[in-house]
Structure 1
Amino acid sequence: MYKTIEFKARNELDNALAETVSHILAKAIKDTGKASIAVSGGSTPKGFFNLLSQSDIDWSKVTITLADERWVPIDSEASNTRLVYENLLQNKANTAKFFHLKQGDELTDETLADLNVAARKTLLPLDVLILGMGEDGHTASLFPCSAEINVALDETNDAVLLKVQPKTAPHQRISFTYASLITSKNIFLHSCGEAKKTVLTKALLGDDPFEMPIRAFLQHPSLNTQIFWAP
């Protein structure tokens, strides 16, 4: 299931999403003493990150991670980790903890196994998940072109994280699995621009998640994915 909220401008979307997410995180901290959030990369969330980083919550009790990451050096322009450090782990949010998906030079089976254990213990279930969406309908690093797509979208998969090697995009990736992402308590799709709205319309008109993985979130009968879109 999904709910679409459209805004007239991106700054209005950024303000609304930052306010909504900060309230969720604050409530989680009040109720459980901690909160967790997974965000996505790209240029779209920069304004949202900046506003969220100024929220007056106890950031020392928040753990931030990424829905997926490219296995590149952290100082690379392709690094989502760098994006988060430069735009979200700032201002009041500079006291938040960051769970690194990219650890070490090589994504070995041993590294992946260790990260799975740590992520399960530290992060799940996520209080907030912010998804993005590619032109091909991928989300996180659940790419329709990848050899890993079947296991990535398997709702019975007990892995938290997996390796992904997309055929239509550069870099090896590490990504949360669909099975782990759908345990999130609050799921948002953050999307901007007319091109993305065209992709979203196509996703909503079809029902094959292996063609467009974002469909798995939008059309799941018991999920409530909130779509925040602006031109």
Structure 2
Amino acid sequence: MHQLTEFTSRDDLDNQLANTVSDILAKAIKETGKASIAVSGGSTPKGFFSVLSQSDLDWSKVTITLADERWVPIDSDASNTRLVHENLLQNKAEKAKFFHLKQGNELTDETLADLNVAASKTLLPLDVLILGMGEDGHTASLFPCSDEITSGLDESNDDVLLKVQPKTAPHQRISFTFASLITSKNIFLHSCGEGKKTVLTQALNGDDPFEMPIRAFLQHPSLNTQIFWAP
């Protein structure tokens, strides 16, 4: 299931989302002594990252990771890791820990197995998951065009992470599986622009997650995905 909140400006959205996430992380730290959050890449979350980075939290107890990452050098413009370091791991949030999905030069089966174990122990269940959405309805690196989409959306999949090779986008990827992401305690979809509103409407009006993987999060009966949208 889902709940849609529309904002009049991206600044308003960024501030509200940052305040909401900050409160969740603070509560998790108070209750368990730690907190974890997975964020998404792209240009949409930059403003949100900037506001969140200035939140008054004990950031040393927060672990940040990515919902997915391209297997590219960390200094590449295509690197989500670089995006997070330059926009979120700043100001007060520079004290946070970062769990790297991109480790080593090649995404071997051995590397993937090691990352699966480490992510399961360190991150799950995530306190906060911030998803994005592509024009094709993909989220994280769960692409409708990929051969891996069946295992990626399999709710019974025991793997936390999987390798993905999209057919309509460059670069090999590593992505959290749907099965691991739905264990998150709080799930948000952060989306901006009229184009994405059209995609969102299409996603909400259909029921095939293999056509638009974001539907798996929006229509799952046990989830309450919070949609934050601004023009």
Q: Which amino acid aligns with 2:161?
A: L
The ranges of structure 1 where at least 4 consecutive aligned residues each deviate by more than 4 angstroms after the TM superposition are none
Matches within 5 A, 1:141-156: 141-156=141-156
> Matched residues in 2 for 1:112 and 1:150: separation?
18
Partner of 1:224: 224
> Matched residues in 1 for 2:221 and 2:106: separation?
38
TM-score normalised according to structure 2 size: 1.00
The unaligned stretches of length 5 or more in structure 1 are: none
Instruction: Quote the offset at 1:158 in angstroms.
Output: 0.3
SS of the counterpart of 2:190?
A: strand
- Is 1:109–2:109 an aligned residue pair? yes
Partner of 1:180: 180
> Matched residues in 2 for 1:35 and 1:176: separation?
18
Q: Deviations over 1:87-111 (max 9, x none)?
A: 0000000000000000000000000
**Aligned-pair RMSD on alpha carbons?**
0.2
Q: Deviations over 1:117-170 (max 9, x none)?
A: 000000000000000000000000000000000000000000000000000000
Partner of 1:206: 206
Partner of 1:138: 138
The unaligned stretches of length 5 or more in structure 2 are: none
> Matched residues in 2 for 1:203 and 1:152: separation?
18
> Matched residues in 2 for 1:77 and 1:70: separation?
11
TM-score normalised according to structure 1 size: 1.00
Q: Deviations over 1:151-195 (max 9, x none)?
A: 000000000000000000000000000000000000000000000
Q: Deviations over 1:33-76 (max 9, x none)?
A: 00000000000000000000000000000000000000000000
Q: Which amino acid aligns with 2:153?
A: L
SS of the counterpart of 2:184?
A: coil
Partner of 1:98: 98
